[in-house]
Structure formats: C-alpha cells, structure tokens
Structure 1
Amino acid sequence: MPHVLQFMAQLHRLGPAVAAALFAVLWAPTPALAQAQAEAALKAKLTLSLTRFVQWPGAASGDPLRVCLAQRDAAISQAFAEADGQVVNGRRIQVVKAPPLTGCNVLFVHASAERVSDLMRAVAGGPILVVGDADGMLNLGGMVEFVPVNDSIRFDINMAAFRQAQLTVSSQVLKLARQVRE
C-alpha cells in the first residue's frame, strides 16, 4: 500500500495533464478487449442484417422485432444494446435478455450461454430465427451459426431448421453462406 501512495503523490506532482494522459494509457482497452468488442459488434450487425432477408409468417411491418440474447458476455450485450430501437424493414428492434423466450422473433445464442440444448428445445418449431456462435448450434436445431475462419467470421445455415420454423430466407443469404445444410 505505501507504494501506491508514493505513486499517487508522484502523479500529483507531475500535474493534472500528465496524470490524465497516464491514466488514459493505463486504463485504455487492451488489444484483446478491443478485439472482443469488435467481434461482438460484427456478430450483432450480421445478426441484424440477416433479419432483413428473413420473412416471418404473419409478421406486419409495424410489429416490433424482438431480439432475445442468451449470453453471459458484456461485449455481446453492449453490441446488441446499441441496436435497440433501430428499425429493420419497418420493425423497431427490441433487445431483451433470454430466457424467457416469450415473444422472441430472433434468438442470439452466444458461446457463453448456459444450457444451450434446453434453449434450442424450447424454441424448436417456433417462428424464431435462431442465430449464434455456440459450438454445434446447427446440430441442435439452430438456423445460422457464426464460425471463425482465419481472421473473419463466416456462417453456416441449417435449411431444415428454417423450414421447421416456417421461416423463409432469401437465396442471396444462401449464396453468402460458407455451408448450407439441407
């Protein structure tokens, strides 16, 4: 503790401008944190971009688009929170924590989510676009799984899950997928 007090006294003697600059450097996001935030932002943008190319049965353009997040990751939570209130295809985005899954149009399942298989069983057959990066999501009934490839994020699609949920996805999205499973 005496070392901390000596350090604080030295900072004070340097003057407020130098102390502020040093504080900014010491508390700046680490490259790993910045990379996690950038990756989370990309996944949020990809998820919301996908919603532009999916049609839900009986959805009206004025209905909210409820995006439910199953995750325990601050970067993912923040990235999706930034989209809250935006409009996609005439639908205002509402971002909420999952579970519960009531009223979800989109479920994003992050690798940090607990009980992924239980979540997947709960949404099976419902008109919910299930997207995420949890390992093996497509095998559990997910529709879109984000996969890291080199320094980028690609995605795989499970068409059987789309059909089971009675959702329609544009052929343009299928062309961009790394892999499409029937």
Structure 2
Amino acid sequence: MKKIRRLIVSFGSVVLLMANCTVRSDSSLERGDQLKAVYLFNFTKYISWPDSSFESKSEKISICVDAPAVFREFLGEIINNKRVGEAQQLLEVVSLDVAVDCELIYLVKRDNKLPRTLNNSVIVTDSGDNYFPETEIKFYILDKKLRFEIDLDKFKKKNITVSSELLKLAKIK
C-alpha cells in the first residue's frame, strides 16, 4: 500500500512540478506537452536498464528527444541535477539530432533520425499513428486525459525491467 501511495504522490506531483517550472523561452509549451515531459522524467524512476546494456556503466541516463527546443528546456528544468535508480544516475536531456546513445528516446515526428544503438533504448512515441514498430511506450488521449500504453513484450525482449508500480498506471498491450 505504501508503494502505491508513493507512486500516486510521484505522478500526482505533476501539477506541482509544472507550477514550479518556468520555461525560459518566448513561446509557451502546451499543457499536454508539459505533462509528457513530466511523464518522461517519471518513467526513468520506474524503468531499470540492465548493467550490461551500456559499454561502461554510465553515470548518466540520457533522455533523447526530437521535440522542439522549448520542450527540451522544460524537461531539462524538471530533471535539473536529479538522480534516479539504485545507482543514483544523473539524468540529462539530449536533442535527438546530436544523440549517440540514449536510454530513453521520445519521438514526436515521423522523419526522425535515430541513434545507432537502439538495443537497450526505451522508445516513447507521441499519440497518433504508431509509426515506429519498436515503440515500448505510447502516449494517447482518453476522455481528454493523457494516458500511456506499455508494450511489455518489447521490454522483455530487451531485458529492460518495468516496475509493477508503473504498470498499474498503464494500459498493457
């Protein structure tokens, strides 16, 4: 019961995080995109990559995104100096254009260039067509609320562990 409360509090902090984060850009970020950024941050708390997935155990988890700069800035402010996982790895946001290795990849557009190493990357796509067949997590809208779907079989194939706490919030494919 404590774990469920902790998870609800973690995802419930979305509103507080968004209220405390100010985007340093002339253009504003839509509320739906703000929620997606917070979800991406929270996904890193409940996903475990195998130690063997990286050439050398990195001190960072890279979240690579193909979204506009304002989205990357907002996500960067959310994860600023935060650490996750048992190894307390530091999070970083990287533009997909310059990314080499990524643990979490967020794809918005169809015409994206993916990093060479995808074997142990978790791919998250935006709502709409599931245009990338290797997607593990897909955002969608249901009853005017942002939700996400997890393809558990694809996680298992990559030997990446998803917390049961996260699975309780997701639609399982």
Equivalences, count: 141
Tell me the TM-score normalized by structure 1.
Answer: 0.65
CA shift digits 1:119-140 (9 cap, x unpaired): 39x555x111111315333861
Tell me the TM-score normalized by structure 2.
Answer: 0.68
CA shift digits 1:102-152 (9 cap, x unpaired): 221111112xx2425x639x555x111111315333861111111112332
Q: 1:104 to 1:176 in 2, by over 3 A?
A: same
Q: 1:62 to 1:97 in 2, by over 3 A?
A: closer
Shift of 1:77: 2.2
Divergent runs of 4+, >3 A: 59-62, 136-139
Q: 1:93 aligns with which of 88, 91, 94?
A: 91
The answer for the alignment partner of 2:6 in structure 1 is: none
Cα distance in 2 for partners of 1:91, 1:138 equals 31
Cα distance in 2 for partners of 1:172, 1:97 equals 29
Q: 1:81 aligns with which of 71, 76, 84?
A: 76
SS in 2 for 1:47: helix
Bigger RCO (CA 8 Å, 6+ sep): 2
Q: 1:175 aligns with which of 146, 150, 168?
A: 168
Structure 2 stretches lacking a partner, 5+ long: 1-26
The answer for the alignment partner of 2:64 in structure 1 is: 68
SS in 1 for 2:135: coil
Q: Kindly indicate which of the two structures has a greater share of residues assigned to helix.
A: 1
Q: Percent identity?
A: 21
Shift of 1:47: 1.1
